[in-house]
Amino acid sequence: MKKISVSLSGHQTSISLEAEFITALHEIARRNNVSVASIINKIDSMRAPDTNLSSAIRVWVLKNIK
């Protein structure tokens, strides 16, 4: 597990993910010319209130990796 730090709604938070998901997240961000933080903020705004952010990121990565 690796931790990444991002700002969500003006609050600093850290997210623990497997290294493979972090690598994939960075690749998707690079491919789409956006920041990892903007992707995570987008995922955070779309997830259900009872869904863990790390889990939501994993699912989003699986749906968006090519």
Mean pLDDT on 4-18: 92
pLDDT in tens, 49-66: 999 999 999 999 999 987
Tokens of 59: 């699912």
**Partners of residue 8 on adjacent β-strands:** 11
Cα separation, 31 vs 10, in Å, equals 26
Domain ranges of the chain: 2-64
Three-state SS for 49?
Answer: coil
Whole-model pTM: value is 0.91
Q: What mean pLDDT is predicted for residues 12-36?
A: 96
In angstroms, rounded to a whole number, what is the distance separating the alpha carbons of residues 6 and 65?
Answer: 21
Distant-in-sequence, close-in-space partners of 3: CB < 8 Å, separation ≥ 6: 14, 15, 16
Give the three-state DSSP class for 57: helix
